[in-house]
Every structure is written in structure tokens, then in C-alpha cells.
């Protein structure tokens, strides 16, 4: 049972971002109360679902450690330690995007998020109706008291567009730790309390920029952590920056300066754990207090110019992404007609879609779909009747056509109605609420 809980946590929270997260040897590792995995590559598509104009070029986790208190599972916290997180990101190129693959990925990602929403709701209903199983209670206790520590983080963005220099923006963190406390902010184990307290500590956060020769082949080195440590060598020292320097590991001339000098801060979070909707007298669900010392920021003219250019490139990426399928793959010179058609299609498509959504036929179909989905999904959640193939097909069509935000609103309404039905069932003691 314990093995399945740990395997689920590793797959759900880490398997989505890291390669080689194997769970087939957990039985042997659990005997020592410690699961330790080393040298884990970061998946190149780990941030793809965020729809950012950047992609992971290379990534690496030096060590992942999970400490499990086998003799006191429900009275002592589990500990997760990540040592050495190194990631290099670079701009995404629109030319490498396949429209069909992107559509399949967006739909799969939307359905995955909707399924998580449904699973979470079903788990809440189990805990509410049957006071939860041993596994669900254990899992909830573990998550509530999980201690997380991430050390030696270095994330670096590289934009190699210039003929002579490439602009880089890096972030380094010595340590990020989070753990449960009591009301006096002393580390403590939380169990079945009306409120929970979390303390998050950030140590030595620093942001820097540098310019490296375009012909620098630094990142072809197999030892990614050593290379990134060398590139951030000036940041880890207390020697003030006075001008261009030489990185001893790669022996390349580069300029480097800090945007944000090393800063540490503390965040205190208070959460009201009342499972029911809160009233005004109950106060907020979350309270956040941040203790931040003086922050030293410095921005040169070159840094400002590079950041503005990067922001403009990101803005152009988002605008171009939506019209990429019409964009010609030929130069403007000699193909003016194709580019004029491209411009017309971009604007006419938006106008046609806007007019279509204003038509009575569209509104009528939309209302019919909402009514059908609400009734059918309600029947599916209650589970008293099985869906026929036509109903399942209709549900799939609606889920594909509607956006994620629309589906979330619709599902929340249906889930609220089902909760009322199940509550009426429990109070009356009858079988079916229909």
C-alpha cells in the first residue's frame, strides 16, 4: 500500500518533468526508509503545456531524495530534497511547430486537467461521505506536512541571435525550503487542525545577465552542472563586478553583471482548512505575510535594451502563433500575392468568427450543447446509469469544441448540483435522487 502511494506521488509530481523516474524498485528502496535517485535529465517538453515562447534546451537534476518515517507515517513529516537543479532554456522557433501536433497536445492537456479536476472532486466526496479511506487520509496527511527543500538552482535563458554576442539571463537560488509549523512559526507536525501554517524560506535569490561569444560551444560539455557553475562563478563570490572577466572553466571572454543582488526572504502562509464555503466572519481562506529586506536592483542601458528586445520577441511570438497556419513559407520578394492573401485571411477569419458567434443559430446550438452536457455529465457523475455510445461521442465533441475555462465553469455547476443531490440522498436515506 505504501509503495503505491509513493509511486503515485513520484509519477504525478515528478514524472511529468523528469526523465527516468523509475518506480519498479521501490519495494527494495523502502526497506531503508529512503528513496534516492541521481542524475535525472529534465524533459525537454516539461514546460510545453505552459504555452511559453521558450523551450528547454538542456536540464539536469543532480540528486532527488525522499525520506520516509516508516515507524511514524502519520506523526512525522516526509521530506523531499532536490539538490542541483540546472536548466538552460532558449527561444522557441515558430518554424518548428506542427499545427496538428499542437492541436492534439492542447486537447490532451485540456482533458488531463479536466480529469484531475474530476478526480479531486470524487476524492472530496469520498472523504465527505465515508470519512475517507486509510489511503486517502494518509495521502492527505503526507501532503499537508510534506517538507520540501530545493538547493543549488541555476536556470539560464540564452538568446543567440547576434552575430558577435548572445544575450543571456540567469537566475540562481541557494535554497528554497517549505515546511509546516505551529501558530508560533515553529516547525511542527499538523494533524486535523482547523488551520495550517506554512513557512517558506528563500535564500540567496540572484538574477544576472551576461554576453557570451556566439561561437562559444560551452553547452556541448557533458558536465552541465560544472559549466553552469563556472558561468555563474562571479555571482557565487562576494567580489564586486568591475568589468569583463574570464570564466576559468570554459576559458571564454564574457561580460557579466547582476540585475538583482542576492536577496533572502521569508513567506508565512495561514490556510483555513474548513471544507465548507467560508462566511464573512470566517475570514479569508489564505493569509500571506512576506518578510523582504532591502532589495538592490541595477539596470544598465545594455541590459534594458536586451530585455526590451526579448519582450518584443515574446510578444511577436504570441501574435504570430495564432496565424502561423496561414503564413507562407516563402520570402516576400517575388511572392507578394501569397503574402497579401495571408494578411486578408488573418483579418477575415477573425471577423467571420466574431460574426458567427453573434448569430442566433450559434447561440441556439451553444445552449443545446450546454443543456445536453449538464444532464449527461450529471448522470455520469452520479453513476446510476451508464452512458451509451452516442452520449459519450456527444460529450467528447462538446469537450473538444469548448475551451478549458468554459468546461471548468460548466463542470463546477454540475458538480455543485450533484453534491446537492447526494446530500439529499443521505438525509432521506433513499436510493436514487432522480
Q: Which of 24-38, 199-213, 238-252 has the lowest mean pLDDT?
A: 238-252
Residue 329 has a pLDDT of 81
- Per the listing, cell 441556439 goes with 364
Contact 246, 253 (CB under 8 A): yes
Q: Which three cell numbers stand for residue 104?
A: 492534439
Please determine, for residue 243, whether its predicted confidence score (pLDDT) is greater than 70.
no
Cell 540567469 found at: 170
DSSP annotation string for 130-180: H---HHHHHHHHHHHH-EEEEEEEEEEEEE--SSSEEEEEEEEEEEEEEEE
Q: How far is CA 201 from the centre of its chain?
A: 20
CB atoms near residue 253 (< 10 Å)? 13
Q: What is the mean pLDDT of the chain?
A: 78
Q: How many helices (H) and strands (E) does the chain have?
A: 11, 9
* Least reliable range by pLDDT among 110-119, 248-257, 315-324: 248-257
φ/ψ (deg, to 5) at 54: -130, 160
Closest CA to 208 of 246, 240, 177: 240
Q: Which of 76-85, 243-252, 319-328, 378-387 has the lowest mean pLDDT?
A: 243-252
The C-alpha cell at 402 is 469548448
Asked if 318 and 53 touch (Cβ cutoff 8 Å), the reply is: yes
| 68 or 409: which leads in pLDDT | 409
Q: How confident is the model at residue 245 (pLDDT cuts 50, 70, 90)?
A: very low
234: confidence class by pLDDT, cuts 50, 70, 90: very low
Mean pLDDT for 334-355 is 89
- The C-alpha atoms of residue 375 and residue 177 are separated, in whole angstroms, by 46
Q: Give the per-residue pLDDT at 133.
A: 57
Q: What angle do CA 46, 52, 54 make, to 5 degrees?
A: 75
CA distance 151 to 177: 8
pTM: 0.71
**Which residue has 459519450 as its cell numbers?**
392
Mean pLDDT of 403-414: 91
Amino acid at each position: 500500500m505504501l509503495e503505491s502511494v509513493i509511486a503515485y506521488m513520484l509519477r504525478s509530481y515528478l514524472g511529468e518533468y523528469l526523465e527516468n523516474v523509475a518506480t519498479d524498485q521501490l519495494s527494495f528502496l523502502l526497506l531503508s526508509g529512503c528513496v534516492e535517485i541521481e542524475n535525472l535529465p529534465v524533459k525537454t517538453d516539461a514546460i510545453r503545456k505552459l504555452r511559453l515562447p521558450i523551450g528547454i534546451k538542456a536540464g539536469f537534476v543532480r540528486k532527488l531524495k525522499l525520506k520516509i518515517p516508516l515507524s511514524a507515517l502519520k506523526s512525522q513529516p516526509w521530506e523531499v530534497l532536490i539538490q542541483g537543479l540546472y536548466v538552460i532554456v532558449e527561444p522557441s522557433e515558430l518554424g518548428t511547430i506542427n499545427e496538428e501536433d499542437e492541436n492534439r497536445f492542447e486537447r490532451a492537456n485540456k482533458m488531463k486537467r479536466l480529469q484531475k479536476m474530476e478526480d479531486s472532486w470524487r476524492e472530496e466526496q469520498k472523504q465527505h461521505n465515508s470519512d475517507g479511506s486509510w489511503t486517502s487520509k494518509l495521502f492527505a496527511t503526507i501532503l499537508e506536512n510534506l517538507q520540501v527543500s530545493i538547493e543549488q538552482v541555476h536556470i539560464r535563458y540564452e538568446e543567440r541571435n547576434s552575430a558577435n554576442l548572445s544575450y543571456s539571463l540567469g537566475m540562481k537560488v541557494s535554497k528554497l525550503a517549505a515546511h509546516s509549523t505551529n501558530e508560533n512559526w515553529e516547525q511542527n507536525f499538523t494533524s486535523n487542525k482547523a488551520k495550517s501554517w506554512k513557512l517558506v524560506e528563500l535564500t540567496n535569490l540572484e538574477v544576472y545577465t551576461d554576453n557570451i561569444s556566439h561561437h562559444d560551444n560551452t553547452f556541448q560539455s557533458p558536465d552541465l552542472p560544472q559549466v553552469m557553475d563556472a558561468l555563474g562563478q562571479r555571482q557565487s563570490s562576494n567580489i564586486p563586478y568591475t568589468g569583463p572577466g574570464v570564466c576559468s572553466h570554459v576559458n571564454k571572454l564574457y561580460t557579466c553583471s547582476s540585475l538583482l543582488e542576492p536577496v533572502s526572504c521569508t513567506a508565512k502562509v495561514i490556510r483555513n482548512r474548513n471544507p465548507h464555503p467560508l462566511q464573512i466572519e470566517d475570514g479569508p481562506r489564505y493569509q500571506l505575510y512576506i518578510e523582504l529586506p532591502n532589495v538592490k536592483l541595477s539596470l544598465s542601458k545594455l541590459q534594458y535594451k536586451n530585455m526590451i528586445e526579448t519582450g518584443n520577441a515574446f510578444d511577436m511570438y504570441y501574435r504570430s502563433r495564432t496565424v502561423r497556419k496561414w503564413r507562407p513559407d516563402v520570402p516576400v520578394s517575388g511572392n507578394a500575392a501569397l503574402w497579401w492573401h495571408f494578411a486578408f485571411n488573418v483579418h477575415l477569419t477573425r471577423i467571420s468568427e466574431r460574426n458567427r458567434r453573434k448569430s442566433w443559430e450559434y447561440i441556439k446550438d451553444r445552449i443545446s450543447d450546454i443543456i445536453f452536457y449538464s444532464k449527461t455529465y450529471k448522470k455520469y457523475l452520479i453513476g446510476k446509469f451508464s452512458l451509451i455510445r452516442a452520449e459519450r461521442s456527444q460529450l467528447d465533441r462538446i469537450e473538444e469544441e469548448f475551451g478549458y475555462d468554459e468546461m471548468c465553469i460548466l463542470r463546477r455547476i454540475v458538480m455543485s448540483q450533484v453534491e446537492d443531490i447526494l446530500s439529499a440522498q443521505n438525509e432521506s436515506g433513499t436510493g436514487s435522487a432522480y
